[in-house]
């Protein structure tokens, strides 16, 4: 089932009192068995990677360990995105699933009986983790790739605008005040392998220049990459610098020369943006990383993201860090 946890909660809400008590007893037995299985595996030390680790009691209801090589103690969530979290694996996976599927935060909070702010912070921890991974290990595009730009209306969602702001505030989902492309639009440069990965990043307002294209694709292409573009001259900088080949996709008479795949990616991004009535522009690149990961992806993406959160590779960040670092400011 796609939404196992929310469906289980809904069933529990509809049970009579004696049914809830019986279900709770069964769940406690299952949890005890799961905890027993978990205790048989001792993780390596997240500080020095040593395997010379033994159990060391419990801390905040979590199994604690101590490393005999570096003498540092840790718990099972140290250096993971779940550190200090009171929620378990099932809750985190449900929030990941809802984030992937574009479920509104309020709906997730209601389904899981959590506060709106709690779900918001957990969602941004997930997005921040994905963004950090993309910054540290940029997606590499190989083979035939399509590249083009799309435009997203800027949004100051969640921010109180000053009285002397350059434009009047507008409701979420409203249209631009100016016709055509203007500085009200954020340019999102996107690239998609025809049989693989996708990338998307916003670096400028309105039309993207050579510097913007270089910033997005420069470290993501190689001699194994052929870029199909709509003929925009900005992409020629990638070929002129010897980083990859560039072909014009506006040539008629050959089905090979098209950018239908990246246009489909654009439609996906815009549809998700419409459903959310606009993502706050400062968080836009986090969502771009998410969209790049889930575009044409399978259900396994939820497990992949959860494993990324739990890999003890310095994934732990405070709420203030996740809400203030790497924000898009253009």
Instruction: Report the alpha-carbon distance of residue 100 to residue 291 in Å, rounded.
Output: 8
What count of other Cβ atoms lies within 10 Å of the Cβ of residue 284? 23
Residue 1's pLDDT band (cuts 50, 70, 90): very low
Per-residue pLDDT for 268 more than 70?
A: yes
Mean pLDDT of 267-277: 93
Band (298; pLDDT cuts 50, 70, 90): low
C-alpha distances out from residue 22 to 26, 27, 28, 271, Å: 6, 9, 10, 44
pLDDT cut 70: percent of the chain above it:
93
- Confidence class for position 33, pLDDT limits 50, 70, 90: low
pLDDT in tens, 200-217: 999 898 888 899 999 999
Q: What is the pLDDT of residues 40-93, one digit of tens each?
A: 678 899 999 898 999 988 888 788 999 999 999 999 889 999 998 888 888 999
> Quick check: 184 and 167 in contact, CB under 8 A?
yes
Q: Is 100 left (phi over 0), alpha (psi -120 to 50) or beta?
A: alpha
Calpha distance 149→208 (Å, rounded): 8
pLDDT bucket at 37, cuts 50 / 70 / 90: low
Whether 137 and 269 have beta carbons less than 8 Å apart is answered as: no
21 or 34: whose pLDDT is higher? 21
Q: What is the mean pLDDT of the chain?
A: 87
Ranking 164-173, 226-235, 283-292, 316-325 by mean pLDDT, the lowest is 164-173
Distance, CA of 210 to CA of 238 (rounded, Å): 9
Mean pLDDT of 273-279: 90
d(CA 245, CA 328): 29
Half-sphere CA count of 295, side-chain side, radius 13 A: 29
Q: Which fold has domain 139-295?
A: Nucleotidyltransferase; domain 5 (3.30.420)
Question: Would you kindly state where each structural domain of the chain is located, as residue ranges?
Answer: 139-295
Query: Over the stretch 151-164, which tens digit does the pLDDT of each residue have?
Result: 999 888 888 888 88
Mean pLDDT to the nearest integer, 171-175: 74
Looking at residue 200, what is its pLDDT?
96
The pTM of the full predicted model, rounded to 2 decimals, is: 0.85
């Amino acid at each position: 089932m796609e939404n196992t946890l929310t469906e289980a909660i809904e069933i529990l809400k509809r049970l009579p009192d004696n049914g809830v008590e019986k279900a709770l007893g069964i769940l406690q037995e299952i949890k005890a068995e799961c905890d027993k299985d978990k205790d048989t595996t001792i993780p390596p030390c997240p500080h020095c990677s040593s395997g010379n680790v033994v159990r060391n009691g419990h801390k905040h209801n979590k199994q604690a360990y101590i490393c005999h090589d570096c003498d540092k103690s840790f718990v099972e969530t140290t250096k993971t995105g779940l550190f200090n979290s009171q929620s378990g694996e099932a809750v985190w996976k449900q929030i990941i699933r809802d984030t992937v599927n574009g479920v509104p935060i309020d709906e997730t909070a209601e389904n899981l009986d959590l506060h709106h702010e709690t779900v918001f912070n957990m969602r941004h921890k997930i997005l921040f983790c994905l963004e950090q991974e993309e910054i540290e290990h940029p997606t590499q595009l190989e083979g035939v790739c399509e590249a083009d730009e799309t435009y997203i209306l800027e949004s100051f969602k969640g921010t109180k605008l000053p009285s002397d702001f350059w434009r009047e505030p507008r409701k979420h989902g409203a249209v631009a005040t100016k016709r055509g492309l203007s500085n009200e639009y954020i340019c999102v440069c996107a690239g998609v392998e025809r049989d693989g990965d996708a990338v998307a990043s916003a670096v400028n307002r309105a039309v993207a220049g050579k510097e913007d294209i270089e910033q997005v694709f420069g470290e993501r292409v190689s001699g194994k990459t052929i870029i199909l573009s709509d003929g925009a001259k900005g992409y020629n900088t990638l070929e002129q610098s010897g980083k990859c080949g560039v072909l014009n996709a506006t040539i008629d008479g050959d089905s090979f020369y098209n950018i239908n795949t990246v246009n489909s990616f654009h439609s996906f991004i815009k549809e998700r943006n419409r459903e959310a009535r606009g993502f706050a522009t400062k968080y836009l690149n986090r969502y771009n990383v998410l969209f790049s990961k889930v575009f044409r992806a399978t259900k396994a993406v939820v497990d992949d993201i959860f494993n990324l959160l739990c890999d003890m590779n310095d994934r732990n960040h405070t709420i203030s860090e996740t809400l203030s670092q790497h924000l898009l400011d253009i």
